[in-house]
Amino acid sequence: MQKLEKTPLIVDFVGGAVGHRFRAGEGRRQDLPKAAGFASGVTPQIVDATAGLGRDAFFLASLGARVTLVERSEVMHDLLAEGLERARAEGGRYAETVARMTLIHGESRILLPQLNPQVVLIDPMHPPRDKTALVKKEMRLIREIVGTDADSVELMEVALEAAQNRVVLKWPLRGEPMPGVRKPSYQILGKSTRYDVFVKAKIPETAA
Ligand SMILES: C[S@@+](CC[C@H](N)C(=O)[O-])C[C@H]1O[C@@H](n2cnc3c(N)ncnc32)[C@H](O)[C@@H]1O
């Protein structure tokens, strides 16, 4: 396995695009929070079953959600833990956001049933669409560490069973539906990404 000190990848919630998005206060009307079930009076509890660089989880936690992040790659998990620690040390709203996040090193297919989540978010690595396509450098570095998530159909099946309220699959806009997985209740289409939303039950209103 690749050693942590050999990858130039860094998880940075304070500088760069994530920090900018955070300071700009982008809100609940974005595609991801809408897909995750944020609504007036409703702030879902979320398990991000494919934590990766933690960007989606950090965004959702910045909007008030409690987010449990599960990451199975030790290298990615350790990078993420360091990024969270730096954001915590920044204090203020960064620290408040991190306080709503719980990071677990483990396999979501095993952990999801015991986490009893309201909402599960799944954003697997997918195979490159075209070998000659220019893949973003960051994506290439992550792929060097974690490969492609060939077991994501199985993860979806476990998530659909374990989630109380809904499962959200983040997938390329024109990606094929996952074989054998039931049709989503609805889709939210973005520029290059789509969210397939599988509704099981209404998310209860959040106690004030
Ligand atoms: C595309 S990245 C997720 C990016 C993330 N949404 C973000 O905002 O940074 C996918 C990550 O999920 C992890 N992963 C995939 N399947 C998993 C599983 N069954 N359990 C735990 N982690 C998993 C991979 O190791 C990889 O780090």
Q: Is residue 5 part of a domain?
A: no
Mean confidence (pLDDT) of the chain: 90
Q: What is the pLDDT of residue 120?
A: 98
- 123 labelled ligand-binding: yes
| Ligand 1 in reach of 77 Cβ (< 6 A) | no
Q: What is the pLDDT of residue 76?
A: 96
Q: How confident is the model at residue 55 (pLDDT cuts 50, 70, 90)?
A: very high
Separation in Å, CA 166 to CA 18, 41, 55, 111: 25, 17, 20, 17
| Ligand 1 in reach of 157 Cβ (< 6 A) | no
Distance of CA 168 from the midpoint of ligand 1 (Å): 14
Total of domains in the chain: 1
Q: Is residue 157 part of a domain?
A: yes
Q: Is residue 144 part of a domain?
A: yes
Q: How confident is the model at residue 132 (pLDDT cuts 50, 70, 90)?
A: very low
Q: Looking at residue 130, which CATH number applies to its domain?
A: 3.40.50.150
Q: What is the pLDDT of residue 91?
A: 96
Beta strands 166-172 and 193-199, pairing class: antiparallel
Q: Is residue 11 part of a domain?
A: no
What pLDDT digit, counting tens, does each position of 174-205 carry? 998 999 999 999 999 999 999 999 999 999 99
Between CA 36 and CA 28 the distance in angstroms is: 10
Residue 95 belongs to domain spanning: 32-199
Beta strands 186-189 and 193-199, pairing class: antiparallel
How many other CB atoms are there within 10 angstroms of residue 114's CB atom?
A: 8
Q: What is the pLDDT of residue 129?
A: 63
